[in-house]
């Protein structure tokens, strides 16, 4: 299930890219996101592990490793999402029910297709696309 880490990660990366001439510290980013710097550092750690940013503890601020047009939204999604599946299917439906015994298989087919479609769309969009919309 997608949580706010994805949108916060896009916010972080957009701010770093937009403020390339200014040091983007976790405190500055937290002010823009309106959250605690600890949240920024946690997400920053995930983005660093995915090799999208560099910097962090002991370094004055973050910077992008790649150009914004080289970072897809799918790259960001994969960096901050733990689950391999977007949709969670409820566990242990009643196997004695006609619907219950087959619902997981039926949902798996449809939801896997939906997740693949979402990932394909995210792969088409870049951080640069988001940054361009910031100035609209």
The model's pLDDT over 8-46, given as tens digits with 9 standing for 90+, comes to 999 999 999 998 778 899 999 999 999 999 999 999 999
Q: Is 135 exposed, middle or buried (0-12, 13-18, 19+ CB in 10 A)?
A: exposed
- Torsion from C-alpha of 39, 45, 50, 56, nearest 10 degrees: 120
Q: Which two tokens stand for residue 112?
A: 């896997």
| Distance from C-alpha of 109 to C-alpha of 52, rounded to nearest angstrom | 32
User: What domains appear along the chain, each with residue ranges and CATH number?
Assistant: 4-134 (1.10.10.10)
Question: What does DSSP assign to residue 21?
Answer: T
Q: What is the pTM of this model?
A: 0.85
Give the number of other Cβ atoms within 10 Å of residue 85's Cβ.
12
């Amino acid at each position: 299930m997608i949580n706010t880490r994805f949108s916060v990660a896009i916010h972080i990366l957009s701010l770093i890219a937009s403020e390339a001439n200014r040091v983007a510290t976790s405190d500055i980013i937290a002010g823009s996101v309106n959250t605690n710097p600890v949240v920024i550092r946690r997400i920053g750690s995930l983005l660093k592990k995915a090799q999208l940013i560099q910097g962090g503890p002991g370094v004055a601020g973050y910077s992008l490793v790649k150009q914004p047009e080289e970072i897809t939204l799918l790259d960001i999604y994969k960096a901050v999402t733990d689950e391999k599946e977007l949709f969670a299917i409820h566990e242990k439906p009643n196997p004695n029910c006609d619907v219950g015994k087959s619902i997981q298989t039926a949902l798996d087919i449809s939801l896997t297709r939906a997740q693949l479609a979402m990932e394909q769309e995210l792969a088409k969009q870049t951080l640069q696309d988001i940054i361009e919309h910031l100035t609209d």
